[in-house]
Structure 1
Amino acid sequence: MTFIKSYFTKALFFLIIFSCVEPIEIENLSFDNLLVVEASITNQLKKHHVQLSRTFQLNDDSIKNETGATVTISNSNGTIYTFTEVSNGQYESSIAFQATNNNTYTLNITTKDGNTYSSTPETLTATSQINCLSTNIEASTDGLDGVAIYVESSSTNESAKYYRYTFEETYKITPPFWSDKELMVISNSFPYRVAVVEKTIENKNCYKTLNSTDILVAETASLEENSVIFPVNFMLDTNFKIAERYSILVKQFVITPSAYNYFNTLKRLSSSDNVFAQSQPGFISGNISSNNNENEKTIGFFQVSTVSEKRLFFNFADVFPDKTFEYPYDCDFAAPILYDSFSQSSPLVDLINRGSYTYYSENNLGQSALEGPYLMVPSVCGDCTVLGSNVKPEFWID
């Protein structure tokens, strides 16, 4: 739920303080130090997470995590699930559990300064399954070609009319000038010696995983049919993520009308164009409040949602069969000499030790500008671990 953080970096405390547009002095703004809560549980059996932080000012360059808090979720059957702080501000349930029907759930927080906060009791929402994910070639607002990814779902349950989406995208990285060999420095001093040896580390194929940050919400309450066709992502045909093979895991959360209103308002205000809009709504109220001070504002919404998920794979050639993808990095060769008799140094050994270049092949180009015995390329062009992980995800299908 990092979209909440990105919003607060620019807009939040303006919305709390101002109700009209006036010339302001940024350095003289007053500031409210408010608790920010990002919490949801679902019908999936797993360890759930709660993120606690504080609002921060424009000139701050990092998230202010709320550490040392006591976090629990209690249900109407008397069960209490405790959470442990696994990293600064990140709290994880001590055991795996899932939200069930015929139960209400309440989030309870006690900060290290003794202040307590609670959510309203929330029940598990109705179920709606994702039917499919699909791709469609479209033009951006600037008229540039790209691929849109749509989620389609429908439900016969009239209670399932409000949705929030998140996604996790993973893409494959294969550098264009990979070699199964590398150069090893045998001697760092005169007489300099290097050797071509077999690689011991896999760095031909790597993978990078990123989580969505935008607020993605949809509703069918205003439609005649309770079905959703919603664009969750759009990428230009020049986006490196789709250069080879791409996968996206989309999660669909059925949410309450109040949660929809909260996130939809947050979405509308998260654009910098809206920070000083003519109509300022003031504070965005969630379902979490202070137990100590009824006038204290708290940011966040505790969700109890059903979730459905589906994964899609595609190759660049699948969606753009008539195009080729150009590698977006400069891959000019270098071929430094092994030994400079004037300086008694080794440009080749220096280049190897810096790690910015990697071996590609023996130098058979015969160009005067490339005098050394081996062709070297920038590491980003021959070593995929510069851009991703060489550990293949368990879910990956080639």
Structure 2
Amino acid sequence: MCFYIVFNLGCVEPFEGAVDSFEDVLVVNAIITNQVKRQEINLTRSYPFEEEEVPLERNAIVRVSGSDGSSYLFEETEPGLYKSIQEFGAQMNVEYTLNIETENGRVYQSTAMQLPVSSTTIDEVSIERTFNNEGIEGIAINVDSFDPSGASQYYRHDYIETFKIIAPLWSPFDAVFVIEGINQYEIPVILREQEERTCYGTNKSGNINVLSTRGFVEDRLEDYNVRFINRDDYVLTHRYSILVQQYVLAPETFAYYDTLKGLTQSSTTVFSEDQPGFLAGNIFSLTDDEENVAGYFEVSALDEQRFFFNWEDYFPGEDLPPYIIPCSFFKPSSSGTIGERDLVNIIRQGTMRFYDFNTNPQPGEGEYIMVLPECGDCTVLGSNIIPDFWVE
């Protein structure tokens, strides 16, 4: 039996609906921090569990208003992503309210929120080769932090990791489909038109990492683990960078994330395929007070630090981690007539990449040696644009 549960930061109330019903709700991911920058807000819609693509909320009017009279309009810079037109940072003792009007005229508003502290500081990000509780060897990324005033108490840690990818079976040449006839075909080999050997992959933290120091002797974090990477994870193969983000939360924001963490340990989204209930946040509809809205408007203090390291820094002279997939050579047949030639179909459909010429083809083999896209084209796994922050 399927059902939703509405969690309202303390009370639990069952929400009854048809077993096979689906509720289309607005999903808001909004975090305003004390950093002076273009603040970001993501708007999406809920979606049936069997669907994979998240529907984006387009063409909304988004504004954040402060109790000091300030007002910040947001513009849609890409589908579903709204950025403040001007840079700003949340100020102490100012209450901020999020206002949204969707394209269909529905209006939403958040509870007024304010910064819990003026700032937070990560004292140190440390990197250690170690074993986790399951006896797996890898890299632990830990944080030290201390608030001598004892005012912080409620923390959330996120990270964004970026890593270099080098396609192991890359070739400077590519085979392109031109034409195929009944008795002939044309798939010339040309120089590749873009960088496809070295790329940069990016992952964001996938778990809700919250901690309260209430009850601690001091408002201090020591060697607090925010990321553990198995030594066999291919993200460590070459050069790796992590941006560690520390948020100090308001008590009610901490309660929201702590409840969400209890719902699922594998997602940071408020409406995901593995979440067994519906979590109500601090955003509500002004158009229909019976309408459910998912998500949360957060105003938090943020500090962040970036760290770089190479595989050789912690595993000198040791074998590299296995690549993300096993890589092999394929020599698909080019025999047959129109529509039946494996080599032509593979190149036309883009399911493999050219590696080399098959100079001595055996029976059933074609004239090209091919590899899987992940093995010969790094853009399948990441971006070929060097990040602005990247240093070697």
TM-score, length-scaled by structure 2: 0.78
Does the 8 Å contact 1:55/1:64 carry over to 2? yes
Does the 8 Å contact 1:244/1:316 carry over to 2? yes
CA 1:158–1:126 in 2, change beyond 3 Å: closer, same or farther?
farther
* Structure 1 partner of 2:145: 153
1-structure distance, mates of 2:344, 2:214: 67
Task: Kindly provide the amino acid, as one letter, of the partner of residue 98 in structure 1.
Answer: G
* Structure 2 partner of 1:330: 326
Matched, 1:40 2:31: yes
Does the 8 Å contact 2:110/2:297 carry over to 1? no
Deviations 1:348-394 (A, max 9, x none): 55554443333334557x68579655533333222212222211112
- Match among 229, 233, 241 for residue 239 of structure 1: 233
Matched, 1:97 2:88: yes
* Structure 2 partner of 1:6: none
* Structure 1 partner of 2:310: 315
Does the 8 Å contact 2:108/2:283 carry over to 1? no
* Structure 2 partner of 1:388: 382
* Structure 2 partner of 1:379: 373
CA 1:333–1:225 in 2, change beyond 3 Å: closer, same or farther?
same
* Alpha-carbon shift at residue 60 of structure 1 (Å): 6.1
1-structure distance, mates of 2:159, 2:224: 13
**RMSD across aligned positions (CA):** 4.0
2-structure distance, mates of 1:94, 1:306: 21
- Match among 213, 216, 229 for residue 223 of structure 1: 216
Matched, 1:181 2:167: no
Matched, 1:214 2:207: yes
Does the 8 Å contact 1:173/1:207 carry over to 2? yes
Q: Which runs of 5+ in 1 are unaligned?
A: 1-9, 273-281
1-structure distance, mates of 2:242, 2:210: 18
2-structure distance, mates of 1:78, 1:25: 41
* Structure 2 partner of 1:4: none
* Alpha-carbon shift at residue 267 of structure 1 (Å): 0.8
1-structure distance, mates of 2:85, 2:178: 51
Does the 8 Å contact 1:108/1:119 carry over to 2? no
* Structure 1 partner of 2:270: none
1-structure distance, mates of 2:227, 2:216: 22
Deviations 1:260-315 (A, max 9, x none): 1221121112249xxxxxxxxx9866444455777766544322222111112222
Does the 8 Å contact 1:358/1:376 carry over to 2? yes
2-structure distance, mates of 1:293, 1:348: 58
Q: What is the correspondence of 1:45-124 to structure 2 with a 5 Å cutoff? A: 45-53=36-44, 58=49, 63=54, 65-66=56-57, 69-86=60-77, 89-111=80-102, 112-123=104-115
3-state SS of paired residue (1:131): strand
- % identical aligned pairs: 34
Does the 8 Å contact 1:13/1:31 carry over to 2? no
2-structure distance, mates of 1:61, 1:362: 38
CA 1:333–1:264 in 2, change beyond 3 Å: closer, same or farther?
same
Does the 8 Å contact 2:199/2:382 carry over to 1? yes
* Structure 1 partner of 2:160: 168
Does the 8 Å contact 1:334/1:370 carry over to 2? no
2-structure distance, mates of 1:181, 1:35: 47
1-structure distance, mates of 2:186, 2:68: 73
* Alpha-carbon shift at residue 174 of structure 1 (Å): 0.8
Does the 8 Å contact 1:127/1:160 carry over to 2? no
Deviations 1:43-87 (A, max 9, x none): 222222223445556566554655554432111221211223445
> Does 384-393 or 61-70 show the bigger shift?
61-70
Q: Which runs of 5+ in 2 are unaligned?
A: 267-276
CA 1:331–1:37 in 2, change beyond 3 Å: closer, same or farther?
closer
- Match among 254, 258, 261 for residue 255 of structure 2: 261
The structure where helix makes up a greater share of residues is 1
Does the 8 Å contact 1:126/1:159 carry over to 2? no
2-structure distance, mates of 1:296, 1:388: 39
> Does 105-114 or 191-200 show the bigger shift?
191-200
TM-score, length-scaled by structure 1: 0.77
CA 1:195–1:13 in 2, change beyond 3 Å: closer, same or farther?
closer
Task: Kindly provide the amino acid, as one letter, of the partner of residue 4 in structure 2.
Answer: F
3-state SS of paired residue (2:4): helix
Does the 8 Å contact 2:26/2:46 carry over to 1? yes
> Does 35-44 or 138-147 show the bigger shift?
138-147
Deviations 1:89-118 (A, max 9, x none): 543323222222343322233454444423
Does the 8 Å contact 2:171/2:376 carry over to 1? yes
Matched, 1:304 2:295: no
3-state SS of paired residue (2:142): strand
> Does 29-38 or 201-210 show the bigger shift?
29-38
Which protein is bigger by CA-based radius of gyration?
A: 1
